[in-house]
Structure 1
Amino acid sequence: MAENNNLPSVSETAQAWESLFRCQVTIMRRLQALSEFRELNMREYDVLFNLKRAPDCGLRLGDLNEHLLLSQPSLSRMIDRLVERGLVARIADPSDARAVLITLTEEGAELQRRIGRAHVRHIHEVMAGGLTPDELAELKRLTQALSDSVQSC
């Protein structure tokens, strides 16, 4: 079947997925071990990063959760901890008084910037050390195509 439609076999697909997944795990473990993530773990940083990219008013919890690999209850508990630390705040949604938006505080934005600068340098070291500029462009193209195909389903 796969040969007739010029589609990869199930085995080829599984092997490619395993390779992609193992590569991500290897890189993430290396990055998590960096000193920047002693103050804030990678999942917490990911929350701050996504809030930094959000509109100025912030994001609802459900909208933020769409960008993360966390369950909604886990994210809610994490937000509670980040609020206690003064890194994020809950504010009333100006467009819906019943809803709450999550926003970065000044302290949260500064911590995200500081960790982000170091994080990007380390990502560059890992990625540029293993791939040429053309290979990086091809990787970006391939992962974007795969992401687009999944989102269109």
Structure 2
Amino acid sequence: MSPSRTRVANEAWEALFRAQSTVMRELTAADVWEGVSPSEYDVLYTLSKAPDGLRITELTRDMLLTQGGVSRLVARLEATGLLERVADPADGRASRIRLTEAGASAQRRVGLRHGTHVAQLMTSTFSVEQLEQLRTLCETLTESTRT
């Protein structure tokens, strides 16, 4: 007798959640962060892909933090000179957040070390074909939940 779809779905979710938690502990513990937390790096990385900056609501969209949590991170990074607020040309009442030159430099330095560590961890576990399957499965799951 085959297991029910509900049971398999829940077992798959638990396996995915445990894998993500385990990998995040490993990556967070690595000596690659150069004085920024993984959450702060997430902000720097997200902004590195947006040269014109992002509104706080846009920045919050793909992060696992509340808007208030992201606002505190942004304020902390702004105070250290890694981010700046600039006027939003589309809405004079709003501002956009973008990397400063120091922020872009920090993102590149930390990103290089972090990316190397991620690659070592993932390629020691999976073949290229398995990594491609994993990427496709995760992208499919992410897209299916965006409505």
Q: State the distance in 1 between where 2:131 and 2:16 align.
A: 14
- 1:140 Cα deviation after fit: 1.1
- 1:100 Cα deviation after fit: 0.6
Verify: 1:33 aligned to 2:29, yes or no.
Answer: yes
Show the counterpart of 2:62. 67
The one of 111, 129, 135 equivalent to 2:130 is: 135
- 1:82 Cα deviation after fit: 0.6
Deviating 4+ runs (over 6 angstroms)? none
TM-score by length of 2: 0.94
Q: Which moved more, 1:108-117 or 1:131-140?
A: 131-140
CA contact (8 A) 2:33 2:114 kept: no
Verify: 1:10 aligned to 2:16, yes or no.
Answer: no
Q: State the distance in 1 between where 2:70 and 2:84 align.
A: 14
Verify: 1:96 aligned to 2:91, yes or no.
Answer: yes
Q: SS state of the match for residue 101, structure 1?
A: strand
Q: SS state of the match for residue 36, structure 1?
A: coil
Q: SS state of the match for residue 92, structure 2?
A: strand
TM-score by length of 1: 0.91
Q: SS state of the match for residue 97, structure 2?
A: strand
The one of 24, 43, 57 equivalent to 2:52 is: 57
Higher relative contact order by CA 8 Å / sep ≥ 6: 1 or 2?
A: 2
Show the counterpart of 1:83. 78
Identity of aligned residues (%): 39
Structure 1, unaligned stretches of length 5 or more?
none
Show the counterpart of 1:20. 16
- 1:37 Cα deviation after fit: 2.2
Query: 1:79-103 CA deviation, whole Å, 9 max, x = no partner?
Result: 1111100000111111211001000
Q: State the distance in 2 between where 1:38 and 1:32 align.
A: 12
Q: State the distance in 1 between where 2:62 and 2:28 align.
A: 19
Q: State the distance in 1 between where 2:43 and 2:85 align.
A: 14
- Two-structure CA RMSD over aligned residues (Å): 1.3
The aligned amino acid for 2:64 is L
Q: Which moved more, 1:137-146 or 1:61-70?
A: 137-146
Q: State the distance in 2 between where 1:57 and 1:146 align.
A: 29
